[in-house]
Amino acid sequence: MTKINRYCLALDLQDDPKLISEYIEYHKPEHAWPQITTNMKELGILDMEIYHLGDRLVMIMETTDEFDPNEPPRTEQGRKESEEWEELMWKYQKPLKWAKNGEKWVRMEKIYDLKEALD
């Protein structure tokens, strides 16, 4: 059985209602870039959800054990569209103060797990 890893990441958006609205539109299923979705699947992302409140985003991602967040998309087309997507998204995003230089999404630390508490 394949081990599944869960990541919880945070990122802020520019505090501008128009930009936030545009960002949300880009993330609706009917506006998803097919190549970006394909890239995620090929790299081992099994599921991903993004939540929004104000200018804060939280992403929950489940991956295969082989997933490497630093691995580039596998095809030339995948890399090209991924770069275009990331460049476009920087218009809307702003790094958290804890982010390293050039880092967008910052992995959050799990501090509570109900399943572990019940054991």
Q: Where are the domains of the chain?
A: 4-109
14 falls in which pLDDT band (50, 70, 90)?
Answer: very high
- Read off the pTM: 0.91
Instruction: Decide if 7 contacts 59 (C-beta within 8 A).
Output: yes
Residue 1 has pLDDT above 70, yes or no: no
Residue 115: per-residue pLDDT: 92
* Model pLDDT for residues 37-93, shown as the tens digit of each residue: 999 999 999 999 999 999 999 999 999 999 999 899 999 999 999 999 999 999 999
Instruction: Decide if 7 contacts 91 (C-beta within 8 A).
Output: no
Which helix (DSSP H) or strand (DSSP E) does residue 25 occupy? helix 17-26
**CATH of range 4-109; options 3.40.50.300, 3.30.300.20, 3.30.70.1090, 3.40.50.880:** 3.30.70.1090
